[in-house]
């Protein structure tokens, strides 16, 4: 009896406090069609979604009549919210962890949030063949770094090919704070890039073998020294064992084919090819290897290896069976990242994809690539309530983000943002004034007050 009362009380409390219902919106579920209906959010999860839902008493109601509701955008490739992006001093810097560089105070997080992004994969840069460990995080603005991290997300590693990689360590190529010949960093050619990658994974294999041998010896009771933990090779072993996803920055079809062969040789699967502007030439090969692609809608020609790009890239790859997402590749501020919705719209013009397919490229597709689709990427019962409300169709360039929810909690509200601005301004001016007064008071009185003889 007591237990029953407890249960009832609990249920009562939970319903009154933790339920939000988004009512009467045009819901783009991405995976289950588009319809006018409502979403029930309980304890941060989507509890129910449909044309007619049960609205529990005491629930917080968000009226979305005439508005468009879609899952939070997932930016598959960005460099926002970071205090440093590249450890470019060496060609294999897999020991560095971008997760430790998350800056929760970076306003790029809020910018992305205001553009409907709720999850992002923020990555190591492309200065070297094997960069660092990336981090998937949610735009939970106001939390500390730990509070931003998408804890369930599978770890990943950045790799890169081509011009950035061979130029970064090479003074002729524009310099990476390198001076003098002793600072030349191998590789200086695309051939060298392949060699560096093969060498690294070969060393990782040996390291993996050493660990196994030691464990076998230990099991037999032999005296043995354990292999020394190697922070550079550990993540590479995880890649070999399928415990870590590879995101590989690439442009040209020939280097994509090269990398496909390397991955085949080392048994590495589920790689996400990033940028991949010539992916349309080798889409079948990418699909056959079980890999996927994350590209730009129509960004091209910013360097020689990006010259042979076409805006149909995403659509062609998709039609050839590649799982495709679109990303921002932002660094510093969330520039492209806050209008990924219109980036997605472009694949309808170039390639004739449907509305749903377009939205999928910035929601469920990146979620699948990052293997977080169990939690995010669509509006489905049981998933995290990461939801964006737009005033118009999100694929229209006239649409604006009105509200953003992450796990049911509202992190962005356009109206509150606008009304808060004068208050912030006043606070700022107050502090500036205070500082000026203190400075005046502390001014050393060095000049004696002498009077000119009149």
Partner 1 sequence: MRQTIRRLLVWVCGLMAWQTLGMAETPGLVAIQDARVVTVSGAVLEKGTVVIRNGIITDVGASVAVPKGAWIVDGKGLTVYPGLIDALSTWGIPEAAGAASAAGATGRGAAPAPPSAAPGAAMASAPRSWGPQDRPGTTSWVKAADLVKPTDRRIETARGAGFTTAITFPKQGLVAGQGAVVNLGGESSGQMVVDPSAGLYLSMTPSGYSGYPSAPMGILAYFRQLWIDAEYYKTAKALYAQNPSAIPRPEYDRALEGVLEAKRVMLPAASPIAMERMLKLASELKSPFIFYGVTQGYEMADRLKQTATPVILNVKWPTRERDADPERVDSLRTLEIRDKAPTSPAALAAAGVKFAISSDGIDTPRDVIRALKKSIDVGLKKEDALKALTLNAAEIYGLASRLGSIDKGKIANLVVTDGDLFDDRTKVKFVFVDGVKYIPPPETPAGPGGGFGGRPTAAPGEEN
Using rule CB under 8 A, residue 232 touches partner 1: yes
392-400: long-range contacts, CB 8 A cutoff, minimum separation 24:
392/68, 393/26, 393/68, 394/28, 394/68, 394/70, 394/116, 394/341, 394/359, 395/341, 395/342, 395/344, 395/345, 395/348, 395/355, 395/358, 395/359, 396/342, 396/345, 397/342, 397/345, 399/68, 399/341
157 lies in the site for partner 1, by CB under 8 A: no
The answer to whether residue 111 forms part of the interface with partner 1 (CB under 8 A) is no
Binding mask 25-64 for partner 1 (x = CB under 8 A): ----------------------------------------
Is beta strand 19-28 parallel, antiparallel or unpaired with respect to 68-71?
Answer: parallel
- Rule CB under 8 A: say whether 149 interacts with partner 1: no
Separation between Cα atoms, residue 290 and residue 207, nearest integer Å: 26
Instruction: Provide the β-strand partners of residue 249.
Output: 160, 274
Give the total of residues touching partner 1 (CB under 8 A).
44
- Does 223 help bind partner 1 (rule: CB under 8 A)? yes
If binding is defined by CB under 8 A, does position 179 make contact with partner 1?
A: yes
Does 439 participate in binding partner 1 (rule CB under 8 A)?
Answer: yes
Kindly state whether residue 235 participates in binding partner 1, applying the rule CB under 8 A: no
Query: Using CA atoms, how far apart are residues 197 and 27, in angstroms rounded to an integer?
Result: 45
Residue 103 engages partner 1 in binding (rule: CB under 8 A)? yes
Closest CA to 89 of 160, 169, 194, 195: 169
Instruction: Give the x-and-dash track for 378-407 against partner 1 (CB under 8 A).
Output: ------------------------------
Q: According to CB under 8 A, which one of 18, 31, 55, 84 is a site residue for partner 1? A: 84
Which span (42-50, 153-161, 173-181, 345-353) binds partner 1, by CB under 8 A?
173-181
Residues linked to residue 63 through DSSP beta bridges, in sequence order: 23
Least distance from C-beta 150 to partner 1, angstroms?
Answer: 17
Measure CA 63 to chain center: 30
Residue 416 within binding range of partner 1, rule CB under 8 A: no
Chain centroid, CA 282 distance in Å: 25
34-42 vs 19-28, strand pairing mode: antiparallel
Out of 172, 177, 445, 450, which residue is the one contacting partner 1 (CB under 8 A)? Answer: 177
- Please tell me the distance from the alpha carbon of residue 114 to that of residue 225, in angstroms, as a whole number: 54
Does residue 241 touch partner 1 according to CB under 8 A?
no
Q: Which residues here bind partner 1, judged by CB under 8 A?
A: 83-90, 93, 95-98, 100-101, 103-105, 132, 144-146, 177-180, 182-183, 223, 225-226, 228-232, 424, 427-428, 431-432, 434-435, 439
């Amino acid at each position: 009896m007591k237990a029953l009362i407890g249960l009832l009380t609990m249920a009562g409390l939970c319903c009154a406090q933790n339920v939000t219902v988004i009512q009467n919106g045009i819901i783009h579920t991405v995976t289950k069609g588009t319809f006018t209906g409502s979403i029930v959010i309980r304890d941060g999860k989507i509890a129910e979604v449909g044309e007619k839902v049960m609205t529990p008493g005491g629930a917080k109601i968000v009226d979305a009549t005439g508005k468009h509701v879609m899952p939070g955008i997932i930016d598959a490739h960005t460099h926002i919210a970071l205090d440093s992006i590249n450890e470019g001093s060496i060609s294999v810097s897999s020991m560095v962890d971008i997760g430790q560089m998350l800056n929760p105070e970076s306003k790029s997080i809020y910018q992305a949030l205001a553009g409907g992004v709720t999850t992002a994969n923020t990555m190591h840069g492309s200065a070297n063949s094997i960069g660092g460990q990336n981090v998937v995080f949610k735009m939970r603005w106001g939390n500390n770094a730990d509070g931003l991290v998408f804890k369930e997300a599978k770890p990943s590693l950045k790799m890169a090919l081509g011009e950035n990689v061979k130029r970064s360590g090479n003074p002729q190529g524009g310099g990476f704070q390198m001076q003098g010949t002793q600072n030349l960093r191998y590789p200086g050619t695309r051939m060298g890039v392949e060699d560096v990658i093969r060498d690294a994974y070969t060393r990782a294999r040996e390291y993996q073998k050493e660990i196994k041998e030691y464990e076998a010896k230990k099991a037999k009771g032999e005296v043995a020294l354990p292999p020394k933990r190697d922070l550079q090779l550990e993540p590479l072993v995880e890649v070999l064992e399928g415990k870590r996803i590879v995101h590989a920055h690439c442009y040209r079809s020939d280097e994509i084919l090269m990398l496909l062969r390397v991955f085949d040789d080392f048994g590495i699967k589920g790689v996400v090819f990033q940028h991949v502007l010539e992916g349309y030439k080798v889409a079948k090969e990418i699909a056959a290897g079980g890999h996927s692609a994350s590209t730009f809608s129509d960004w091209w020609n910013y360097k020689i290896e990006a010259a042979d790009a076409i805006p149909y890239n995403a659509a062609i790859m998709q039609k050839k069976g590649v799982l495709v997402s679109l990303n921002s590749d932002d660094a510093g501020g969330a520039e492209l990242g806050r209008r990924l919705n219109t980036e997605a719209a472009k694949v309808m013009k170039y390639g004739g994809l449907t509305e749903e397919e377009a939205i999928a490229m910035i929601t469920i597709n990146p979620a699948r690539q990052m293997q977080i689709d169990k939690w995010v990427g669509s509006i489905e019962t049981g998933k995290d309530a990461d939801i964006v409300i737009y005033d118009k169709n999100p694929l229209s360039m006239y649409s604006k983000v009105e509200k953003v929810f992450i796990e049911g909690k509202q992190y962005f509200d356009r109206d509150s943002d606008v009304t808060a601005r004068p208050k912030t301004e006043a606070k700022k001016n107050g502090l500036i004034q205070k500082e000026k007064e203190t400075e005046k008071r502390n001014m050393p009185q060095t000049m004696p007050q002498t009077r000119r003889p009149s």
